[in-house]
Amino acid sequence: MKAVYLDNNATTRVDDEVVQAMLPYFTEQFGNPSSMHSFGNQVGLALKKARQSIQKLIGAEHDSEIIFTSCGTESDTTAILSAIRAQPERKTIITTTVEHPAVLGLCDHLASEGYTVHKLKVDKCGRLNLDEYASLLSDDVVIVSVMWANNETGTFFPVEQMALMADEAGVMFHTDAVQAVGKIALDLQHSSIHMLSLSGHKLHAPKGIGVLYLRRGTRFRPLLRGGHQERGRRAGTENTASIVGLGVAAERALQFMAHENTHVRRLRDKLEAAVLAAVPYAFVTGDPGNRLPNTSNIAFEYIEGEAILLLLNKVGIAASSGSACTSGSLEPSHVMRAMDIPYTAAHGTVRFSLSRYTTDAEIDHVIREVPGIVAKLRKLSPYWSGNGPAAENDQGFAPVYA
Amino acid sequence: MWDYSEKVKEHFYNPRNAGAVDSSNATGDVGSLSCGDALRLTLKVDVKTDIILDAGFQTFGCGSAIASSSALTEMVKGLTLDEALKISNQDIADYLDGLPPEKMHCSVMGREALRAAVADFRGEAPEADHEEGALVCKCFAVDEVMVRDTIRANGLSSVEDVTNYTKAGGGCSSCHEGIERILVEELAARGEAFVAAPTRARVGKKAQLVVLEMPVAEVAGTEPSAAPMAAAPVKLGTLQRIRRIEAVLDAIRPNLQRDHGDVELLDVDGKNVYVKLSGACTGCQLASMTLGGIQQRLMEELGEFIKVVPLNSAEQLKAMEV
């Protein structure tokens, strides 16, 4: 069996049509779009077309609201630092405990420089308390940054409602929609969202290209200055081939939008139901009724995620884990911690993220392999004894912690 | 994916001695709350001879935690308890042909389980061990607890101090921001303010060379000279010269071996001294500093200009001669 790739929330395979569309921009269409001559002119037109494709995908009102960046992290950083520089009198940031490190890392850094950062807590299903949010909105809030869909669990936040609340309070609202764009239909022109980040490589475009959506009229301060590119809002020569690729990827994502929400969702549900039926002491993390159609995050209690991934990899299955050991840090995933998942389960979370390339045969393969792998590792685990947790069999394991 | 050695993978895919030992008489349960790994080691010890007859493990942890546990059980079987206690976490890592720096704590856990099991057998209370924190320096696997303890114990106040005492920050230097953050907190706690040294491109290099200078006096059979470079160089015969070079390398060698590295003399051709760095020195980000230190030392010892040339193997040397 060919390798089964179920780590599409980490990155995706570049669509063949995207690659084909990009190739001429490395060779005959190598011009700088800023140039006056014909070499550059064609490229400039291609960028315009790509911009319109992305405008359509996210339902923006104007194509000039699309700013090309190098990645999702740059888009997030540009949005937050822009809000801060444009409103120096405001000193409070609202975000959530489960954001991507691109946002959390920057917010923690800003906290060390004197900003007050409120991280909204989530409940055991990864849901926010909007009353808490409403009570924090004030004239001192410089920006609210809340992700559209969580990268680990796929859980949606009600960003459109939160943006509306922020807008009514006169507060800028940014959303990191890196996981949502291309998987669910968006309609930004009818929302109150001021800024939105997206990343090409999560929707079958190449790595190294991202977009910041900037609603017309939103006060803005560029991160990179010194060039007229992107109307002076992001200086630096355009990554033309990748922009063209992202444009095609946006068109393809619209074509596959129904497929993603029917076929892919069915495969995800099939995988999840079969694994949960076959493996005891396993549960889905996040909010199963309100999440991305392609993501399933399952906690396998009493075993550790990296060990699961290594054994899955051996049988040709690629997934990812929220365990501490896969990240190189000592802490399990901050998302699992925020949802108050116990250590022995948080370390054993495995994220399966599907794509439009995922097939029934692949899912069947995973369904066959997972129960044996979990059983093998549980046999090694001191928390496990026979057919259940050691604690229930009266041989509780309570190690001395260093 | 981690860069695991073949041996780590082998022990993970086919763990030895998994499960509890039947009729065991020593159990060590340890866990690391911070990283979530936990290990139960069971031993069957011969009551008369203190020899470990059998060992088994149960591990909740990642690939390298399971491999470290498996390696540990293989290593201790047949040893007396006192012999087993001499096994260090570095020995466990060496047995597995090395572990990634972020994973060294897995071998530490193995060692702690062993101590806990021996304490259990002897009816002693298990001793508390070094608490581990988040990894600060990846080049030398130094964690935050170690950095803070060292700053407090020695009243350190600069990144350079921290590097000199713990090695943290002595490699790629990307952790300097993190070390500064710790210094700011630790200095604030003792009522001082952190002041960064002015940034100069050359200063670091000079300072690092000074660190590597070694006492000249201990080299076999030579009197320390008051002004080594100024004294008129005595023209040495070839054999004599090579012996002097080897004596210098022998004097340096213990320092390298302490860090699991080594150096070997391949050839001497005029001013060029060809050496081979091995063990942990290969691929070490500080290898060029080490070579610089060796070169400096040779020049001082021989009183002439020497160029130390690193080669990977004797074959490479042959290739050069053609």
A177 neighbors A148 (Cβ within 8 angstroms) = yes
Give the pTM.
0.80
In single-letter form, the type of residue at position A221 comes to R
- CATH of the domain spanning A16-253, picked from 3.40.50.10320, 3.40.50.720, 3.40.640.10, 2.30.30.100: 3.40.640.10
Average pLDDT, chain A: 94
User: B55 pLDDT exceeds 70?
Assistant: yes
**Ramachandran bin of A127, using left for φ above 0, alpha for ψ from -120 to 50, beta for the remaining angles:** beta
Residues 100-129 in A contacting B (C-alpha not used; CB under 8 Å): 112
Q: Cβ contacts of residue B42 below 8 Å, gap of 6+? A: B20, B21, B24, B26, B27, B28, B55, B56, B57, B117
Band of residue B210 on the pLDDT scale cut at 50, 70, 90: very low
CB atoms within 10 A of CB A69: 28
Q: Which two tokens stand for residue A210?
A: 């991202």
Which of B62, B104, B143 has the most A C-beta neighbours within 10 Å, making it the best mutation to test the interface with A?
B62
In single-letter form, the type of residue at position B170 comes to G
Q: Look at B63 and A306 and tell me if their CB atoms are within 8 Å.
A: yes
Residues 212-251 in B contacting A (C-alpha not used; CB under 8 Å): none
Q: Look at B31 and A399 and tell me if their CB atoms are within 8 Å.
A: yes
Partner residue opposite A382 with nearest CB, options B1, B38, B63: B38
Residue A378: per-residue pLDDT? 95
Please report the domains of chain B, with CATH numbers, ordered by start residue: 6-122 (3.90.1010.10), 135-197 (1.10.10.1100), 211-321 (3.30.300.130)
Average pLDDT, chain B: 82
Report, as an integer, the average pLDDT of A218-246. Answer: 96
User: B298 pLDDT exceeds 80?
Assistant: yes
Residue B288: per-residue pLDDT? 76
CATH topology of domain A4-8+257-384: Aspartate Aminotransferase, domain 1 (3.90.1150)
Report, as an integer, the average pLDDT of A280-295. Answer: 97
**With pLDDT > 70 as the criterion, what percentage of chain B qualifies?**
81
Q: Look at B105 and A330 and tell me if their CB atoms are within 8 Å.
A: yes
CB atoms within 10 A of CB B170: 22
Where b means 16+ CB within 10 Å and e means fewer, A200-234 reads: bbbbbbbeebbbbbbbeebebebbbeeeebbeebb
Burial classification of residue B196, based on how many CB atoms lie within 10 Å of its CB (0-12 exposed, 13-18 middle, 19 or more buried): exposed
Q: Which two tokens stand for residue B143?
A: 């964690």
Beta-bridge mates of residue A66:
A213
> How many H helices and E strands in chain B?
12, 8
Q: Could you give the angle at which helices B104-122 and B63-76 cross, rounded to 10 degrees?
A: 40
Domain ranges of chain A: 4-8+257-384, 16-253
Supply the DSSP string of A352-370, one letter for each residue.
EE--TT--HHHHHHHHHHH
Q: Express each pLDDT in A251-262 by its tens digit.
A: 999 999 999 999
Which of A315, A349, A373, A401 has the most B C-beta neighbours within 10 Å, making it the best mutation to test the interface with B?
A401
Which of A214 and B153 is assigned the larger pLDDT? A214
Q: Look at A330 and B65 and tell me if their CB atoms are within 8 Å.
A: no
Q: Is A325 a catalytic residue?
A: yes
Q: Express each pLDDT in A374-399 by its tens digit.
A: 999 999 999 998 888 887 654 567 66
A54 neighbors A66 (Cβ within 8 angstroms) = yes
